Amino acid sequence: MDRAKKTVRRVFIVAWIVLALAGALNHTIAQKTLGRRFDLGLPHLRYGHVMFNSNLRVVQTYQYARKDGVRHDVADLVPTAAPGYKRARLAMNILFHPRYLRELCFRSLHALDDELTIYIDEYDLDVARGRPTRTFTLRCDVHGLVDR
């Protein structure tokens, strides 16, 4: 690549990053501090289609325990590798495939040959961030996945 192409490429990358940050700040910080958003003249940001537009206020985390009672992340039971995003992938699978947790229970039960207890902790971020507001307990055994 010649020098002019490299310079144009660098300017494009810097502009891309600056515009992405401006859009993200416009939809988060500007909305909260100034009470409004600004029209940045960018069509992909004009209608709030950015990943920071809205965040979940109620989230769930999934853990399991064997008979010893020590809790582990349910994402560790998923056989497919997902470095860096296994918890997010598990949550999306559970959200979009309601029977996914049952299937995971079935497969894990046969692989581990041990009864599992699955804990679903629900956090309401508007109420308390540091502790769950509700906890669901499910038993995973030869009868399937049932409420405890």
Over its C-alpha atoms, the chain yields an Rg (Å, rounded) of 22
Task: Supply the pLDDT for residue 141.
Answer: 83
CB 118 within 8 A of CB 74: yes
Nearest to 122 by CA among 84, 86, 91: 91
Q: Which residue has the tokens 């009470």?
A: 35
**One-letter amino acid of 36:** R
β partners of residue 124: 58
End-to-end CA distance of the chain: 64
Sketch the domain layout of the chain as residue ranges.
3-46, 58-147
Q: Could you list the pLDDT tens digit for every one of the 148 residues in the chain?
A: 688 888 999 999 998 888 888 877 877 788 788 888 777 776 655 555 555 556 678 889 999 998 889 999 999 888 887 777 888 888 888 988 989 999 998 888 877 767 899 999 999 988 887 899 999 999 988 878 888 7
Query: In the numeric block, which tokens belong to residue 88?
Result: 């997010």
**One-letter amino acid of 50:** V
Pinpoint the alpha helices (H) of 82-129: 86-96, 100-112
- Strand extents, DSSP E, the chain: 58-65, 71-73, 116-124, 134-141, 144-147
Task: Supply the pLDDT for residue 43.
Answer: 60
- Taking the C-alpha atoms of residue 84 and residue 60, their distance in angstroms, rounded to an integer, is 18
